[in-house]
Structures are given as structure tokens and as C-alpha cells.
Amino acid sequence: MMPTGLAAAIGWVQQLLLGSVATVAATLAVAIFGFLLLDGRLNWRQGLRTLMGCFLLFGAPVIAAGLMIPATSMSSAGAGPTIEPEVTAPPPRPPENYDPYAGAALPQDW
């Protein structure tokens, strides 16, 4: 359980990163990079990196919720029966006096 002060601080940081200030900053960044790309002063890789950063920043809650779905479904008690892999028996062992190289050097009469 988190203390209320720490939870409030985390909530404030989250609101700062995902609030209106961050939205305005991301909009300006995309606009500036768009103008620089149109003017030829910036390469496509940096522009796409900026767009991906904005999508990841604002889509982080949705991405995290999507990643948590399998973890919560696996931890629930009624997740269903577990299927164990079938183990096959090992092959029979050769007798103790078995020598696989005993006739290797002898000529074979076919």
C-alpha cells in the first residue's frame, strides 16, 4: 500500500506528463518537426522518432493495460485446466558389455 503523500506525488507527475501542458508541447513538437521536414532541414528518421515518442507517451496507459491483461488472466484461480506435456519413455539401454565399435574395422562381406 502506497502512502497518500507518495500517491499524490505520482498522480501529480502523471497529470503533468499527460495533461494539457504535455498536449500543447507535443502538438508544438509535431508542428515544428513537420515544418522542418517540409523545408528539408530534418531527416525523416528524426521526424518519425518524434511522432512515435508522442504516441508512446500518450498511449502508455492503454499499452500498459493491454500488457496487464494476460498477467491478470493467468494469475486468476479459475484460469482453466493446466495441460502438462506428455513425457515419453527413454529408449532402452544397451547391455553392459555392448561395444558399438567392435566390428567397425572388420571387412564386411556383402
Name the band, by pLDDT with cuts 50, 70 and 90, for residue 75.
low
Domain segments of the chain: what residues? 7-72
**pLDDT score at 103:** 66
Q: How far apart are CA 30 and CA 36, in angstroms?
A: 10
Write the DSSP symbol of residue 81.
Answer: -
The model's pTM is 0.42
Q: What percent of the chain has pLDDT over 70?
A: 80
Q: What is the mean pLDDT of residues 8-32?
A: 81
Residue 33: CB atoms within 10 A of its CB come to: 19
